[in-house]
Amino acid sequence: MAANYLDFFDLNDDPFRMTPDIHYFYNSPEHSTALLSLEYCFKEKEGFCLLTGEPGTGKTTLMRLFVDKWKDRAEIALIMTPRLSPEEFFLAVLEDFKIPLISRSKNDQLKAFRDFLLTHAANDRRVAIIVDEAQQLPDTTLEELRLLSNLETEKEKLLQIILIGQPELRTKLGSQLLRQLNQRISVRVQLKPLNEVETSDYINTRLIRAGNSTLFANQKAKALIFKLSGGKPRRINLLSTRALMSAFLEGTKEVTATHVRKGAADVMESEMDEKEYSAAAARRRTKKNWLFAADPRGKASSRTPMAMILGILFLIAAGYAFYYFGYARPTTTLLEPVVTRASAPPLSPNPAAVTAGRISSATQSVQARQSSAKQELNAK
């Protein structure tokens, strides 16, 4: 924020900056429980610990606070870009711990890492790997983490591993492929959004630490921020900053619900446009028939009934044509042209011709029998 902006509101610092800042950490009951759980896992050398929550609920800020509390008593490798192969991930861990790579052999690297763990265990110093956005870790890399957790003595775990991610991480770990890793997680913590009272207290806490607690004295303004943000700290910060800017442009030092609405207009409008576009696209994907015309909002247009009627008539006509030309009529073969003459009455048979034909047939039969008899006598 500009200096005149902070001076106008009598602020020493920007109270609602978007970057995680442990100076403005709000210790809600949820966040306090999560922090205590992480510390228990660390102190008792439990091995695996899981911290999940929706985006913007304060996971990264909580993790930074935890690291700040333990930085003088432990060796911590913080992995912020988890989309790494098993080999890349292990090399990133060794680099964070400043373990020299004497050899490219994986066996030699594991031996150097084990010696590193044993040295710090002898000095009662914890060694931990913390992975932020762990839902992005490939399954093979998660399996590599499980294998690294096997580095232990008969009495204790030499390595503590904290996985921080969104709710999808819990689903991922529940898969059959990662069941062995899931069984090793001894501490599970889930961060939830703030309620309305906590949201009001969160805003006041940040304003006090920034130097002026009177800016959001209007309870309706804070209630509206809670409603629009859903109690997620990141959205609370965004809406509060926009509300302060709106009040600054009007030249007033008290933020009201009107300022919150004005400040949130651009943010909410862009989000609603994106949601509406996605919903319209989904509706259009379900309408596969080209006969259904739709406008950009996904509503059926006035041309739809006429298109349906024309389509039905077309299908009926096509079916009738197929039946008549392709199925009902028999298939014919091209023949030579046939000349059709006028019909005439049938002719009566000639009695003489009929009698002559019969006599000729009988004569031929007698001659055939005589010829056969002669042949038999000659043969004897």
Retrieve residue 31's tokens.
């966040």
The letter for the amino acid at 105 is S
CATH number of 3-13+195-284: 1.10.8
Distances in Å between the Cα of 67 and the Cα atoms of 75, 127, 166 are: 10, 12, 19
Provide the pLDDT confidence category of residue 187 given band limits of 50, 70 and 90.
Answer: very high
Residue 101 pLDDT: 84
Neighbouring C-alpha atoms within 13 Å toward the C-beta of 268: 15
d(CA 121, CA 130): 18
**What does the pLDDT average to over 262-290?**
57
> Is pLDDT of 299 > 50?
no
As assigned by CATH, the class of the 29-191 domain is alpha beta
pTM of the shown model: 0.68
Q: What 3-state DSSP class applies to 313?
A: helix
**Of 116, 86, 120, nearest in space to 101 by CA:** 116
Residue pair 95/84 in contact by the 8 Å Cβ criterion: no
CB atoms within 10 A of CB 14: 18
Residue ranges, comma separated, of all CATH 3.40.50.300 domains in the chain are 29-191
> Is pLDDT of 359 > 70?
no
**What does the pLDDT average to over 309-327?**
70
CB atoms within 10 A of CB 209: 16
What average pLDDT does the structure give for the chain? 80
d(CA 47, CA 44): 9
Q: What 3-state DSSP class applies to 215?
A: coil
Residue ranges, comma separated, of all CATH 1.10.8 domains in the chain are 3-13+195-284
> Is pLDDT of 279 > 60?
no
**Of 202, 205, 183, 186, nearest in space to 194 by CA:** 202
Retrieve residue 17's tokens.
């900056």
Residue 217 pLDDT: 80
Residue pair 241/266 in contact by the 8 Å Cβ criterion: no
d(CA 54, CA 193): 8
Residue pair 217/209 in contact by the 8 Å Cβ criterion: no
d(CA 276, CA 297): 8
Q: What percent of the chain has pLDDT over 70?
A: 72
d(CA 374, CA 171): 109
d(CA 320, CA 251): 77
**Of 32, 39, 35, 142, nearest in space to 83 by CA:** 142
d(CA 302, CA 294): 9
Residue 312 pLDDT: 80
- Of 75-89, 176-190, 235-249, 293-307, the poorest mean pLDDT is in 293-307
> Is pLDDT of 61 > 80?
yes
